[in-house]
Structure formats: structure tokens, C-alpha cells
Amino acid sequence: MHSGIFCVIFALVLLFAAASSAATPSGDPIKIGYLATLTGDGATWGQHERDGALLAIKELNEAGGVLGRPLELVYYDVRGRQEDAIQAARRLIHEDKVVAIGGTNYSGLNIAIASVVNSGEVPQIGTASTNPAVTVDPKTNTVRPYTFRLCYTDPYQGKVMADYLVNKLGVKSTAVITDIGSDYS
């Protein structure tokens, strides 16, 4: 139910942002959370994602905000670590009171925070999280109702690549090396 409401609100945000006048937004800001790896391995990627989110919010606010209210990005550096991502997700939900969370770009981090965002009923959209377990709990095979992704899953990408190799390039055999103990392999 709440994920449907989030989708409607997101669509309205885009609609009102496009149609609103350039009046200065006023009132309490609508807080959106963002989890990014800003230091350590993957920092460049996380910094670019954060900067893109800040730019989008700046442009929306310059166009009048959402429903006349300004947007505010509340972001935390999760350093590519599950413990930091879990702690930051809890803080965004319980202390900062965000309406949604963007990031991270790591499957393992999104899997780690899935129970936090789902129990807090706050939608979270991972940016480049291809592991199917990001959105579907592998133990129960149930959809995680508040966890979303912006990209295709690994199995889908594998199928498309295999189809291309066989049907376009005529490849007869291939091999895949994977580490079943890694969320990123």
C-alpha cells in the first residue's frame, strides 16, 4: 500500500515540479534521504551520485519546489560498509524523518538495509544494485515492498548477454566465474 502511495507521490512531484511557477518555495522542507559511499572504495561513484541528487533538488527548488515546499537532501557517507549503511538508514528514518531514501549503489548494502526500510515503511531506491535479493527476500521469496532499484537484475542481464552472444555473434560456448559468497559477484 505504502509503495503505491510513494509512486503516486513521486509522479505528483514530477508533475508539480514541471508545472509549478518559479516562485520561491516556502514552509517546512520535504526531506529526502541519500546513502552514498563518499569515502573509501567507490567514493568517486558515491560522490557523483550525491552531487547529481543535490543538483536535481536545486533545480526543483528553483522551479518552485514540490507543492510549494522546498526539498532538502539529507545524506550520509556509508563508506561502502554494511554497518554504516544500516546505522545511516535508521537515522534517516527515525531521526531525520525522511519521506524516501535514495542510494546506495552496492547490492550488499541495499540487502543489509532492506529490513530497516521495510520495517520503517520508507521507500528506498538503490541505484546500481543488480542482485535479485535487493528487492526479493531469497529466504521467503517475498517481495520487499519498500525496496526498489533503478537497474536490471543480474539474471536478466545474463540472459540478454547470452542471447546476444549466441544469436548475434554466433558464440557456441562461454564460461562464467563467480564467487557465491559475494553479493557483488
pLDDT tier, 60 (very low <50, low <70, confident <90, very high otherwise): very high
Q: Is the same domain home to 117 and 173?
A: no
Of 57-66, 98-107, 142-151, 176-185, the range with the lowest mean pLDDT is: 176-185
Q: Looking at residue 176, what is its pLDDT?
A: 83
Match 552514498 to its residue by C-alpha cell: 36
At residue 175 the predicted structure's pLDDT band, cuts being 50, 70 and 90, is confident
- Same domain membership, residue 51 and residue 28: yes
Q: What is the pLDDT of residues 134-147, one digit of tens each?
A: 999 999 999 999 99
Contact 107, 149 (CB under 8 A): no
Containing domain of residue 34, as a range?
Answer: 2-151
72 shares a domain with 27? yes
Per-residue confidence (pLDDT) for residue 25, from 0 to 100: 84
Is the pLDDT at 82 greater than 80, yes or no? yes
Pair 180, 133 in one domain? no
> What per-residue confidence (pLDDT) applies to 182?
74
- The verdict on 138 and 172 lying in the same domain is no
- Do 173 and 113 fall within a single domain? no
State the total domains in the chain: 2
When pLDDT is cut at 50, 70 and 90, the band that residue 21 belongs to is low
Q: pLDDT digits over 23-34, tens only? A: 788 899 999 999
Count of CB atoms situated within 10 Å of the CB of 8: 10
**pLDDT of 64 strictly over 80:** yes
List alpha helices for the chain, DSSP H. 2-19, 43-62, 82-94, 107-120, 154-167
Residues 41 and 121 in one domain: yes
Is the Cα dihedral 57, 61, 66, 70 positive or negative? positive
Q: Is residue 176 classed exposed, middle or buried when 0-12, 13-18 and 19+ CB atoms within 10 A define those classes? A: exposed
Q: Are residues 80 and 120 in the same domain?
A: yes
pLDDT at 147 (0 to 100): 97
Specify the pTM: 0.81
Question: Do 11 and 100 belong together in one domain?
Answer: yes
Tell me: do 77 and 133 sit in the same domain.
Answer: yes
What CATH number did the domain enclosing 48 receive? 3.40.50.2300
State the chain's mean pLDDT as an integer: 89
For residues 117 and 164, state if they share a domain. Answer: no
Residues 144 and 159 grouped into a single domain: no
